[in-house]
Structure 1
Amino acid sequence: MNSTALSSNPLYSTGSFEPIERVANRLVGAAFSPHRHDTYTVALTMAGVQAFNYRGAMRHSLPGQVLILHPDETHDGHCCDQAGFVYRAAYVPPTHVQAVLGGAELPFVVNGVSTNPALIAAAFNMIIDCEGVEDPGAYEDALYDLAQTINQEAGKVATVRIANRTAVMQAREFLETAVVSGARLEQLEQVTGCDRWQLSRDFRALLGTSPYRYLQHRRIDLAKQLLREGATLADAAHGAGFADQSHFGRTFRKAVGLTPKEWLRSDLFRTIIL
């Protein structure tokens, strides 16, 4: 029997939040005894079938599905066959989720397993895309999406309110001046005088994207400009405010659908929007 920790990062920095733990694990011929966490367990099954007892029933998670286990709920975990299973997980404190939901009751995903594409995407962003990214804004953005999608999966109805357009436009103007230096929700809160999580909701409602992703797109625009002017990939990444070339490459592909090198070889490189 063996359980292999593929990786573990218990000190992942989240800026103004306390650190969260991320793990990647392979379980073969072994089992987790009943236990509980004081965090949300957000886990993606990467290979095999993950079986576990949860709230009086046996559950199964297949590759591509997501587990959302509520804090302080007892669960175990075992293999369904000799091949075992591989999973990656993040343990998100309920206080972080509460920061986004503003005091609402913590959402509860009754079955513990979901095939909801939006929730799977949010979990993937939290567990995998944000791993190793030094910018705390990436965690804030992932946390917002995760908290909202868990809330929706739990059947909670969002309160309808009129978005604060003035605050959103102020935030947008500030982001335009902070493309290279970066900006946190805390800074946007100070600039606009609007609660950071409410501002994040309003920004999405009026501009169709989050403050963090808006900033990332402006960074990609700047990087494209630098590349057109002859900058190397490393210089373009640094000049546009990315922590490193790897982060630049991942963000560029998400925004453009091509790697920076592929973009340079494509006709899009020569396209300039007037």
Structure 2
Amino acid sequence: MAKQTPPLDWFYRAPDMGGLQRFEAFFAGHGYDLHRHDTYAIGRTLAGVQRFQYRGGWRHSLPGGTMVLHPDEVHDGEAGTEVGFKYRMMYIQPALIQQMLGGQPLPFIKNGLSTDPRLFAATDVLLRSLDAPLDPLEEQDALFDLAQALNSASGVTTARTGFDYVAAERAREFIHSALDRTVTLEELAHHSGRDRWSLSRDFRLLFGTSPYRYLTMRRLDLVRSLLTQGESLVSAALIAGFTDQSHMSRQFSKTYGLSPARWMKMHRR
């Protein structure tokens, strides 16, 4: 019987997004020696068992959970079984998390592993396919959600603070005027007169959803209107501000539970 060739280790780093670094890697055996960095390392094991030393003990990460390594904590990494492990990770500056939390102690996840579904869901947007660039507002939205999920998973309770309705309404009105182009949280902050993370908190509190999701829903409203007027899928997607038809179709299916083509077919019956 021919001897099986062991799999080769590999590492792929996505283009940096603002203060965020993302990568995916595979290791057949030993991955990293003990080291530390001054960022959060947040990610998930995609296949195999990821074994590492952290805060005085061995941890074993499996698919379905979330790894949250605190800034400046020593850790290493290796395969927990002979089949190796694949994982996806992002590095986030603590100062960025701090801005979104408004000056609270940094969230700490005990043992570096969490099975909290809120935290797993919050990392989903940021850890999906590394080849797919994120819309700037989508990225900032996801980072805010992640900061809140970290806080919740760590057991920290956040006191409710005041809000600025006028500023949030200005931001909402601006979104309606800019459906056909890229919108950033910095722009919304500028037009509202409120700092971006306070605005992000206020918007969720007052309108029940995040700025990016609100923008996406208004774009989808426009798409449905355009489709009923006879526009093609490609034309409707571009007019409504989506990158392309596939981008629109993914959001449409995710929101309504059926594809735009099927929606059109049912609508015309």
With structure 1 as the length reference, what TM-score do the two structures score?
A: 0.88
**Root-mean-square deviation (Å):** 2.0
Cα deviation digits, residues 132-168 of structure 1 (max 9, x gap): 3352111100110011111121222212123322222
95-104 or 55-64: bigger deviation: 95-104
Contact 1:45 1:86 in 2 (8 A): yes
The residue matched to 1:82 in structure 2 has which SS?
coil
Alpha-carbon distance in structure 1 between the residues aligned to 2:129 and 2:151:
21
Q: 1:8 aligns with which of 13, 16, 22?
A: 13
The residue matched to 1:12 in structure 2 has which SS?
coil
Which residue of the partner structure matches residue 51 of structure 1?
A: 51
Identity of aligned residues (%): 44
Q: Which amino acid aligns with 1:229?
A: Q
Which residue of the partner structure matches residue 141 of structure 1?
A: 141
Q: Larger radius of gyration, structure 1 or 2?
A: 2
Cα deviation digits, residues 94-142 of structure 1 (max 9, x gap): 1221221223222111221111111001111111178633521111001
Which residue of the partner structure matches residue 172 of structure 1?
A: 172
Q: How many residues were matched structurally?
A: 263
Cα deviation digits, residues 206-248 of structure 1 (max 9, x gap): 2110011100111111112222223232222211101233322
Contact 2:137 2:212 in 1 (8 A): yes
Q: Quote the offset at 1:261 in angstroms.
A: 3.0
Q: Which amino acid aligns with 2:188?
A: L
Which residue of the partner structure matches residue 109 of structure 1?
A: 109
Contact 2:136 2:183 in 1 (8 A): no
Alpha-carbon distance in structure 2 between the residues aligned to 1:131 and 1:146:
20
Contact 2:60 2:80 in 1 (8 A): no
Cα deviation digits, residues 14-73 of structure 1 (max 9, x gap): 3xxx4x221111221233211222221111111212111111111111111110111111
Stretches of structure 2 lacking an aligned partner (at least 5 in a row): 1-5
The residue matched to 2:64 in structure 1 has which SS?
coil
Contact 1:133 1:247 in 2 (8 A): no
Q: Which amino acid aligns with 1:12?
A: D
Contact 2:44 2:87 in 1 (8 A): yes
